[in-house]
Structure 1
Amino acid sequence: MPPIHDPVGELSDLPQELERWCVTAAHSGCARPESANHLQACLERAEAHGGWRWPAKPVVFLSDTHADAEGFLRSLVAAGLIRRGRAEPGGFSLTEFGQSATILIGGDCLDKGPSDLDMLDALGTLMAKGPDLRILAGNHDLRLRLAVAALHETPTALTEHLLVRMGRKIIPLLREVHDRYVCDADLADLPDEASCRARLHPGRDWAERFSVAAARHLNAAAVASEVEKLAKKAAQFDAELARAGLTSRMVLAAALKCREVFFTSGGDYAWFYESMDVVCQLGSLLFVHAGIDDSMCELLSEAGAAGINARYRAEQGAHPFAFYFGPLANLVRTKYRASDAALTQQGVAVLHGLGIHMVVQGHVNNQSGQRLLAKQGLLHLEGDVTLDRASRRLEGLSGIGAGATLIFPSGDVIGLSTDYPRAKHFAPERQFLPR
């Protein structure tokens, strides 16, 4: 592992010892014997399809920071990427390892934590220091885009509910945007409170109109589920507004301001979405926030990661409802549920044919560090180690989280987390032998 630059000892709880990654343990998701057998079969298929190709330089995967800048910075320290110091511009500088590695942010920078804008400021400071930095989209990042996009187009049965559908979890961000960017003139341009609330919420006959329009995109069960969800989310949305001390006029002003701040060239945080990809392939590893389905496997075969990223950028701004429930957004949403776009053996075979043998993802947070497990017959490494304080409080974890997944050209994979006592070491070419 690279040296850790922690002069003030803020990461005293970071693992100091290395252990072989026990994939059959509960902390790694394969406690059942059949699960371990499935994982072994994944590794054997990798060997049968040409073996492993590793990135040319070290990769550090760090995902689901969820608006916790301190958890993010501690994770950069834990991975040996930065050294912190008050005299350093922005409070930290890149180490030699940080200058030489690829830093891959796995999505979900927004929502939950203490401050979205502080988190983005920390990420922007890191970007300005010039490392090889890649940013992937997460479902929480996408929610803001779709909620704002829906607000700026003529409402339809498929879009007029999207701010409420996506919006409860972005209320803290809207509070920050309101406090930093909204002025009296912005509020003066808006109608009264009742009219603003009507613009945020769907109309009374929405459920009937939505059920007809959504039938082109979802099956009957999924349509019914969305209608049921919306009733609950509308109540949660209003309750969250009250907790945040926001009126409907304030929320509408902030949501409208988000277009200027995040989605207009030159906006203070436009760089965040402009820099965002949805997949990244490095050697035999496919990095994505949540997972993949058969149609994206085929597109990857036809057009490569660049083709998927181009499609994602081109289509995310149009038809937000269809996009959110389509295969491109499935990359940031899936948990391989029956309602998600399917990854079958056909798609897995396509990936192996491309030399891709493992998906490295965030999205599924864990309380004992990273997990290795087989999903749909394909090896997945889950790298969301519950960094943000909001999630940690809800799940009974103390303090501020820190962790990262390090992948080396040698084929060594290291999982670091302050919530697991040792660093986990996985070396698929040396750790497993064919049966």
Structure 2
Amino acid sequence: MTAFNVIPKVSKQPYHNAILTRLPTEWAPWPDDATSVNHDEALSTFVKRSRKKGFAWPKKPVAFISDPHADAEAFEASLIAAGVIEREGSHLCEYALTKFGKKAEIVVGGDCLDKGPSNLMMLRSLAHLYRLKADITLLAGNHDLRLLMGLLSLERDTDAGSQHLFVRMGKKVIPLFKEVFDQYLADTQWDKGLPSEQACRQALFPGNDWFENFPFYAAGFLTPEGIEREISKMTTKAQSFEAHCAKNGLTLTQVYAAAMKCRSLFLNKSGEFSWFFRRMQLVKKRGSFLFLHAGLDDHMAELLAKYGVKHANRAFKKNLMHQNLFSFYYGSLANTFRTKYRKADLPLTPRGAYVARRAGIQVLVHGHINQHFGQRVTLKNGLIHIEADITLDAHSRKNEGLDGYGVGVTLIDKNRGLIGLSCDYPQAKVFKPGRKGKLVEPAK
């Protein structure tokens, strides 16, 4: 084994060096994953396809960081691990792009919100990357879009298809409302002009007849498994939402006030975070790699094959703000950031995978499914998936028995190949197929 040059060099910043001590200092060939059903086929398929004439690596190096979940510390540590930023001070948002960071593309794979210790600092750290004019792509994650759906549902005519979308966000969004209330409302006359607590409750919760009406509303659109799953999830969330608010020191009236403030912050053109949903994209294609939050289904594969990525992103933006919320959130566009390839999800069949490959999509790079031992490569119906959610946020890590905040990044580079860095795996995982399809040692 030899030291691998993707690990950032020792810095004058003590914080920087503290991050390096948590990262691997040696590389190893990308391992077969025994937890994957197709672990014996995924890498060999990757090798075979990567040596075909039509296969293309991204022209620029890509640093993929997914699912930071409101943990700005983990996010910035992962940017440092990628070698794209360096600290200029001891606080969050005090960083600059490195020489490598100025020539690389940074793809944030979605789920910037919920779970972690600070939603607002996470957003501000991301905003700093834009201020530095980094080449950055922000992808839509299910947690991010659930917030938007919940906020939109408060001021739209709601029916059985969408009146549950606020409470559907569940307990993981409550820390955001607590942060917003404390930072923007606590020292103001926040309750002036607000509806009564009972009126706030009616605005936030689905009606009493929702559980009876939703299965009929969704019939023919969702699978039976999908309908059953929604009813089950909403039963739990509706019963526990108010208790979780109280546990975080919020009444329903305060939650309503914080939600309306969020509408101003995120949806008004002058809002501090108005850029967040405006800049968001559904998918990004670089070479033969498609970057997205969760995965594909057959319909999305056909849409991408027929019309391309630009059309998919335009359709996403248009439907996001103007379509019926139910049709958007449970449709194929949203399945791209929601799917876990369950029976409840729209399916990816061998036919869809074939269509995607014919459209030049050989590899999906995504987050959404958190891992405890670094990134993994899998094969789903003949389509290669790089699963890159390595559990960054401290909240999830504590619940799942992992230490501190996470550090890691997935690097895709035509010269160095595929590199998986994670503080939870002892080596940097490296996949670099040679011209004859054999794995070769990466450049030092």
TM-score by length of 2: 0.91
What is the CA RMSD across the aligned residues, in angstroms? 2.1
What is the match of residue 53 of structure 1? 56
* Pick aligned residue for 1:314 from 314, 318, 323: 318
Shift of 1:374: 0.7
- What amino acid does structure 2 have at the position aligned with 1:268? E
Whether 1:148 and 2:151 are equivalent positions in the alignment is yes
Alpha carbons of structure 1 residues 431 and 125: separation in structure 2 relative to 1, 3 Å: farther
Structure 1 stretch displaced more, 242-251 or 316-325: 316-325
Whether 1:325 and 2:337 are equivalent positions in the alignment is no
* Pick aligned residue for 1:125 from 128, 142, 155: 128
Shift of 1:432: 4.5
Where do 1:165-176 residues align within 5 Å?
165-176=168-179
* Pick aligned residue for 2:429 from 424, 427, 432: 424
Shift of 1:88: 9.6
Alpha carbons of structure 1 residues 315 and 97: separation in structure 2 relative to 1, 3 Å: same
- Work out the CA distance in 1 between the residues paired with 2:90 and 2:395: 30
* Pick aligned residue for 1:387 from 389, 392, 410: 392
* Pick aligned residue for 1:371 from 363, 376, 401: 376
Alpha carbons of structure 1 residues 342 and 429: separation in structure 2 relative to 1, 3 Å: farther
What is the match of residue 22 of structure 2? 13
What is the match of residue 253 of structure 2? 249
* Pick aligned residue for 2:263 from 255, 259, 262: 259
Q: Give the unaligned 5+ runs of structure 2.
A: 440-444
- Work out the CA distance in 1 between the residues paired with 2:324 and 2:118: 30
Contact 1:43-1:379 within 8 A present in 2 as well: no
What is the match of residue 288 of structure 2? 284
Q: 1:288-327, CA deviations, whole angstroms, 9 ceiling, x for partnerless residues?
A: 0000111111111122111111111111222112211110
Instruction: State the secondary structure of the residue aligned to 2:240.
Output: helix
Structure 1 stretch displaced more, 79-88 or 122-131: 79-88
Shift of 1:131: 1.2
Contact 2:41-2:379 within 8 A present in 1 as well: no
Instruction: State the secondary structure of the residue aligned to 1:365.
Output: coil
Alpha carbons of structure 1 residues 343 and 252: separation in structure 2 relative to 1, 3 Å: same
* Pick aligned residue for 1:101 from 99, 104, 118: 104
Instruction: State the secondary structure of the residue aligned to 1:414.
Output: strand
Alpha carbons of structure 1 residues 38 and 122: separation in structure 2 relative to 1, 3 Å: closer
Shift of 1:51: 4.3
What is the match of residue 213 of structure 2? 209
Alpha carbons of structure 1 residues 369 and 253: separation in structure 2 relative to 1, 3 Å: same
Shift of 1:188: 1.6
TM-score by length of 1: 0.93
- What amino acid does structure 2 have at the position aligned with 1:18? W
Instruction: State the secondary structure of the residue aligned to 1:213.
Output: helix
Shift of 1:265: 1.4
- What amino acid does structure 2 have at the position aligned with 1:82? I
What is the match of residue 299 of structure 2? 295
Structure 1 stretch displaced more, 369-378 or 102-111: 369-378
Shift of 1:181: 2.6
- What amino acid does structure 1 have at the position aligned with 2:215? S
Q: 1:100-125, CA deviations, whole angstroms, 9 ceiling, x for partnerless residues?
A: 10000000000000010000011111
Contact 1:5-1:77 within 8 A present in 2 as well: no
What is the match of residue 73 of structure 2? 70
Q: 1:317-359, CA deviations, whole angstroms, 9 ceiling, x for partnerless residues?
A: 2211221111000000111111211112222222222222110
Contact 2:92-2:125 within 8 A present in 1 as well: no
Contact 1:136-1:279 within 8 A present in 2 as well: yes
Q: Give the unaligned 5+ runs of structure 1.
A: none
* Pick aligned residue for 2:417 from 385, 408, 412: 412
Q: 1:68-95, CA deviations, whole angstroms, 9 ceiling, x for partnerless residues?
A: 0000010011111111122899411111
What is the match of residue 363 of structure 2? 358
Instruction: State the secondary structure of the residue aligned to 1:188.
Output: coil
- What amino acid does structure 2 have at the position aligned with 1:256? M
Shift of 1:5: 5.7
- Work out the CA distance in 2 between the residues paired with 1:161 and 1:406: 39
Structure 1 stretch displaced more, 283-292 or 226-235: 226-235
Q: Percent identity?
A: 44
Whether 1:348 and 2:356 are equivalent positions in the alignment is no
* Pick aligned residue for 1:304 from 308, 316, 319: 308
What is the match of residue 275 of structure 1? 279
Alpha carbons of structure 1 residues 163 and 37: separation in structure 2 relative to 1, 3 Å: same
Instruction: State the secondary structure of the residue aligned to 1:208.
Output: helix
Structure 1 stretch displaced more, 154-163 or 412-421: 154-163
